[in-house]
Structure 1
């Protein structure tokens, strides 16, 4: 009886585990320093890690891009209207599937975003 119970428990864990999709998303924490709307119904945010709000205030776009290049920042693309709460200065954690376009800063698709603070 104990063996049957142990087998049933093991089988239930196996079935439960098979029903869950494994996600291997990369992530980056940083501050949104730019938001732009592209012509094809896509928005992009430029996220730069390891910066303070003082580091990005009163900077022009070319200076922010240079900062992103130096600090390992990246552009993250998403459909217009999907993340309406995002704004410049928001501290976020962004998630993507690990693929990116070769540019500097790189361009990645945004799978998920967690807002840490505004």
Structure 2
């Protein structure tokens, strides 16, 4: 059974792209890579503790369709929020994908849609 009926929001996927700057370095720009339906929850205390023990930060988890094009390093944006994707996993039976997220605070002038 898929979880499509539980995915209650649409998020924009932004993917980092690197480009040579002409002076021997690179610039990284976030480019839109599509939208995905998702359900975003705050991480439970147990999930946060496990992440901290592994040296990672975790604020939210997102549930996505199994074929969702979301990768580590992407940014998910929508509803005035932005999240950095730290990892994406699938259970043994591919009913959904689960992404570990860290909420990104907006800078003045940022458009988080």
Relative to the length of structure 2, the TM-score reads 0.30
More helix by share: 1
More strand by share: 2
User: Rg: which structure is higher?
Assistant: 1
